[in-house]
Structure 1
């Protein structure tokens, strides 16, 4: 990283070793799988609260693990792709960007990571959420019916709304996570431990989750809507208008409590596993040497 005068700053004892691409790939995959499988029931409750049919009609507390198959399959490659792009962009520009613009770099890196990760995430989300809302009996049936009715593009319904949800979320969460870690490092005079990074991730994730809930509601409605309906076209502004017209502000923040809880806990698990995996790979396997 360069300083405010454009000169390269010297590393301190509090600097983290930046992971190489293999480390980022493996650590991100482990983190994604861990958080998605562990906290899947909270995600199901959130989805059912946000569905147009309502929580009870969508299954209530029954079949709380419906859709976990596609979620588990896609979670590792999705998170791995995100961190591959995130760490790659950070390392590409870290020595070219003054330190005072570091949060902007983290926002840009997180945005790049989300655009890449959504290529894998969105088809999984479509299948997972339709299973969570108990619209189909199996994941295979979701894929078969979607392809028959909408073609391959049907599996990517909501791609833009997902990106529009994820990018604002990430440009809030990741700069906060990096800032909290940096502040804690300076306070204690050394690098944060994995558990401290985990707590930073929980706080930053919860804050980002609460703020971006209306975008998540719109994305959920788009993915669950009948393919002939206007909301299924994927216009997130239109989806927000429809939800607001039907249910007001409370509808736009449907599921905000389980979403915030889920992502706060998820942030703790996700970043804790990521940092611990990174430490293990760097120290035991020596991929950065």
Structure 2
């Protein structure tokens, strides 16, 4: 009887854990736990992927949620003095390097588009191609300082005022351009008259303009310049900021980006692409502005348009786009680098 009882299988939970049955039971339990652990890990991985997908979707939205801790909301604040100093050095450098091409473009547009690129270069000669360089270079310094300090200030103030961030960028670009127009319009007026051979020196040009038209004569073509630069600045800065935002999202994710998120080569490329695109699309406005500024007598926008005709609206579009590609490449690369250095010093 005792032997029969000892040979009977042990009830569940009463067997010896160190017996064969106990070891088998423990092994089975371990396998079940490992399977459950793998399942939980897969679920956690799926949740992590879902969170990343949601974050990418939110970052790609055209607006910025108020409670978002994305790159754009946490990006470093730009010091106004750093922006002014960098802009005041970057713009004259870019304008000075590309001045000869700008002279060729101005000559092509002032001649009603009858001159091609090579013909304009031959007509100008080695001396004529440098006309107006000194004044354009010197006056570009305060223009660049005012423009970039105003742009960074307005962009910071307006970043949360619009449903779509692009509106804030566009308004900031336009306001910054209007602020710098007090320097830009007289600079372009005198420079272009010197480029077309109407005056031999900036002093003679200022004297003649003030004598004939008074102080307001220095701002002839202001309306045509504003009609050209409003869409140009919106296209230029919006495309540049958009390229930069794409780079930040692809490279840094939600972490805090540096002041210069691009390499120098990337800044040269995408800054140039932004400038060339904006220049090509706004060439008709630039042709009309050039005709108004270089005309012997005061001319309205309508009169300039009729004198040019539809076929001449894209005169000099190639040199203008090439000029702005190079200017924007040099300007943005220099500006980003100097702004980052000045910001570090000021902090």
TM value normalised by structure 2: 0.74
Name the residue aligned to 1:271: 332
Structure 1 partner of 2:211: 148
Paired residues, number: 275
Helix, strand or coil: the match of 1:61? helix
Contact 2:158 2:172 in 1 (8 A): no
Which residue does the alignment assign to 2:322? 261
Aligned-pair distance for 1:96?
Answer: 3.7
Residue in 2 aligned with 1:93? 158
1:203 aligns with 2:273: yes
Aligned position for 1:126: 189
User: 1:64 is matched with which residue?
Assistant: 129
Question: 1:17 is matched with which residue: 76, 81, 93?
Answer: 76
The unaligned stretches of length 5 or more in structure 2 are 1-58
TM-superposed deviation, 1:281:
1.0
Establish whether residue 32 from structure 1 lines up as the match of residue 69 from structure 2. Answer: no
Give distance in 2, aligned partners of 1:13 and 1:110: 18
The CA deviation string for residues 60-100 of structure 1, in whole angstroms up to 9 with x for no partner, is 334211001110111011111111111111111224444xx
Give the aligned CA root-mean-square deviation in angstroms: 2.4
CA contact (8 A) 1:14 1:185 kept: no
Q: Secondary structure at the match of 1:37?
A: helix
Assess if the C-alpha contact under 8 Å between 2:144 and 2:180 holds in 1: yes
The answer for the alignment partner of 2:28 in structure 1 is none
Q: Is the 8 A contact 2:64 2:165 kept in 1?
A: no
Q: 2:313 aligns with which of 234, 241, 252?
A: 252
Q: Compared with structure 1, are the counterparts of its residues 68 and 7 closer, same or farther at alpha carbon in structure 2 (3 Å cutoff)?
A: same
CA deviation after TM superposition for structure 1 residue 8, in Å: 4.1
Cα separation, partners in 2 of 1:3 and 1:141, compared to 1, 3 Å: closer
SS at match of 2:124: coil
In the alignment, is the contact (CA less than 8 A) between 2:189 and 2:218 conserved in 1? yes
Residue of structure 2 equivalent to 1:240: 305
In the other structure, the counterpart of 1:78 is 143
Render the CA deviation track for 1:156-187: whole Å, top value 9, x for unaligned: 10111111111110111111100011112222
Match of 2:283 in 1: 213
Any conservation in 2 of the 1:214–1:240 contact (CA below 8 Å)? Answer: no
Give the direction of change, closer, same or farther, for the CA distance of 1:8–1:43 in structure 2 (3 Å limit). Answer: farther
Residue 262 of structure 1, CA deviation:
0.3
Higher RCO (C-alpha 8 Å, min separation 6): 1
Which residue of structure 2 aligns with residue 46 of structure 1?
105
